[in-house]
Amino acid sequence: MRTTVLAGVWMASAAAVIGLAAPAQACGGDSAVNLTLTDEVRTELVESGATLTGFPASEFTGLRPGRSYYGYDVESDMYWATGTLWGPKSFDAAVMVQDQNSYMIFHKSGDPKATWVPIAAGFGPISMGEAPCPIPESVRDVWDWETGKCYPPPSAS
């Protein structure tokens, strides 16, 4: 009961910190929460991801629609997000978001002053299953990713 109350207090505090724009979509007591990806968080992720490409964030228009995820792992007090930089404005920037940079994983601690840390996870060892997925399984579960996979399911087109 105490853990549930503490988790509830923490979630309420976290929602206040992020401006109530990221409502939880999981039941109380779960170890992970699916969050709404706000424009502010999208901008932070593009800025963070652009550092992996060597190009400024202004070279990209945002994150690829329908392929971005955002969540919180209660047990580790870590936020997790994934996405692909979208809308490169130059040929060189487009080349930099191929292969290894084609899909990125982001994480940051629950500290309000924390910044996003990007990880290139495109066609590399993480997505090939040769390296462990850094995203906790509980977070991938709330995103409805296939068990054991470190990337979203194929988009229905």
Cβ–Cβ under 8 Å, residues 38 and 22 = yes
- Higher pLDDT pick, 71 / 153: 71
Give Cα 157 to chain centroid, integer Å: 23
Can you tell me whether residue 105 is helix, strand or coil?
strand
Q: What is the pLDDT of residue 1?
A: 46
- Predicted TM-score of the model (pTM): 0.77
pLDDT in tens, 46-83: 999 999 899 999 999 999 988 899 999 999 999 999 99
Q: What is the pLDDT of residue 129?
A: 78
Distance (Å, whole) CA 106 – CA 108: 7
